[in-house]
Each structure stands twice: as structure tokens, then as C-alpha cells.
Amino acid sequence: MASFKELIQSPDVPVLVDFYADWCGPCQMMNPVIEQVAKDLSGQVKIIKVNVDKNQAAAAKYGIRGIPAFILFQNGEIRWRHNGGIDGNQLKQVLLQHSSPVQ
């Protein structure tokens, strides 16, 4: 599996990182939202999930203090971040603003 740094360097599409934990109720509530957004924006954005309990270094590096937390990367640079739950339509709008049309 590619390293976290390699995953967020994607030159083709923005990468949304969902920082979560298995024990987190709000994270579990976001799962179907994230799955639907991933399906709706397939090919326009890459979504990866990072378990903060298993990837403490990545969580610490990006200052994750509460979950769920979302960070959108483009070419390895942070373009947007959000802590807490978010409506699927709002999330799609943010992602669409940062994605280029599929050719």
C-alpha cells in the first residue's frame, strides 16, 4: 500500500481524507454520507479513510484533535478542512469546487 504522503500527492484528482475512529458515533453516522459522495463523484475525487487510533502520526501531523475531521488535499497541499459532521450536499459542493471535470 502506498504511504499516506504518496496518497495525498495525487496530481490527477483532489484527495479527501476522512480521519475517524471505529468507536466514534459521529464518524459512524458519516460513513453512509461519505460512501454516497464517493459514488456520486467517482473519478473526480479520491476519498481515503484514516483511522486515528492506528495512524496516530498522521493525525498528529495534521493537528487532528476531534473526529470526524476532513482534509482536502490537492498535490499534497491542504485546500480545505472541516471538523465534525457535514451534510453530503455541502461536502459535494466543496469537492466539486476543487475538482476538474472528467474528460
User: What tens-digit pLDDT sequence spans the chain (103 residues)?
Assistant: 458 888 888 888 899 999 999 999 999 999 999 999 999 999 999 999 999 999 999 999 999 999 999 999 999 899 999 999 999 999 999 999 987 544 3
Query: Quick one: pLDDT at residue 2?
Result: 58
For residue 17, being part of any structural domain is answered with: no
Query: Quick one: pLDDT at residue 65?
Result: 93
For residue 5, being part of any structural domain is answered with: no
Specify whether 57 is catalytic.
no
Query: Quick one: pLDDT at residue 103?
Result: 37
Query: Quick one: pLDDT at residue 99?
Result: 75
How many other CB atoms are found less than 10 A from the CB of residue 74?
Answer: 18
C-alpha cell at 71: 482534509
pTM of the model: 0.90
Split into its structural domains, the chain has a count of 1
Cβ-based neighbours of 79, under 8 Å, separated by 6 or more: 14, 72, 73, 98
* Active-site residue identified among 8, 13, 15, 27: 27
What domain range is 92 assigned to? 24-98
For residue 9, being part of any structural domain is answered with: no
Specify whether 27 is catalytic.
yes
CATH of residue 92's domain is: 3.40.30.10
* Active-site residue identified among 4, 7, 10, 24: 24
